[in-house]
Amino acid sequence: MAVFEVYSIPIVNRYKTSICSKAALYILCSLVLTFIPPLLIAYRSQGFWMTTNTYEEQPSVRFKKQVLLIVDTQQPGEFLAWSTYSNFNNIVQDNLRIPLVTSIETDTNGDGILDQLNFTAQVPLSTSEDVTSLQLLLFFDYRLFRMSTFQMESLAYIRHSSVSTGSSFTSFGELKLHQKTPLRHRGVDVRYNTSIVDSASLSASTYDLTNIFRSYNQRNITTIFPNNYPVWKSGRGATQPFTIQVIIDYPTETIIYQPGFWELIKWGWVQYVTILLLFLWVFREINTVVFSSKMFKTV
């Protein structure tokens, strides 16, 4: 009659010795060589501590309806300017030109988060004025919620110049998050939720673009308007305004953040145990040979 194994019980051999013996010293060295090298290997392989990690999130962006616009005309040194900051308009009153402005933000996929801004400004010009370049600053309220609650005031800078005079300018692009340092993994972060331009200031230097960008660039978290696609058209009629249209998408971003304590431990533990299992198997086989062959005096 055929038989088959239904259960098995391993036989355990126990080797005992005094604490001050060669066998005890050997097993201590064996434990050290089993547990310490995997830790060193995991650490030196650049994979033990995860200093940064990433996740994806579509930010909540809203146009603050704050604008600063400067256009240069064909006459050398002549320019036209306008802003939603009344003090700036008072400073440039001799060059002030108030445009007709419209802005529409849309949620294209219906998920409750705005996806796009369509901004249009029509700058009235006299028959002797022609535009050769423009600089436009648009200001936004920018928020993230998934990990830390992050909020800041940010901007998009649009600039274009041409050797020919223009009738209209159109630009398509994305408002992109730019990080010099990772965000925190939790908590409330409002360190950059301050006005980029001090609208209460009466000083012309406050509204100088050089000073605005110098201060803005010192932030570790900003937004930029890269890789935009400008379209410059010529042939403006004598009574026609110069039209500016900017279409800005709010894309899903890959956010860099600092992992928390438990995420670090979880990642480090996986790296360590993966290598430790191999060392445990190797030294178990070595110790079996050493003690079964009675290389050390034991009971």
Residues 41-86: tens digit of each pLDDT: 888 877 677 888 999 999 999 999 999 999 999 887 789 999 999 9
pLDDT single digits (tens) 145-191: 998 999 999 999 999 999 899 899 999 999 999 999 999 999 999 99
Q: What own/partner pairs with CB < 8 Å and gap ≥ 24 does 200-204 have?
A: 200/87, 201/87, 202/87, 202/90, 202/91, 204/91
pLDDT, residue 8, reads 87
pTM: 0.82
- What percent of the chain shows pLDDT beyond 90? 58
- For residue 183, the 8-state DSSP code is B
pLDDT, residue 269, reads 82
Task: Provide φ and ψ at 210, rounded to 5°.
Answer: -60, -45
pLDDT, residue 68, reads 97
First and final C-alpha spacing in the chain? 42
Mean pLDDT, residues 117-143: 94
Q: What is the dihedral of CA 126, 128, 132, 138, to 10 degrees?
A: -20
pLDDT, residue 13, reads 85
pLDDT single digits (tens) 251-260: 999 999 999 8
Q: How confident is the model at residue 202 (pLDDT cuts 50, 70, 90)?
A: very high
What does the domain layout of the chain look like in residue ranges? 55-257
pLDDT, residue 32, reads 87
Most confident of 6-20, 79-93, 283-297: 79-93
Mean pLDDT, residues 277-298: 86
- The pLDDT of residue 209 is above 90: yes
d(CA 272, CA 38): 6
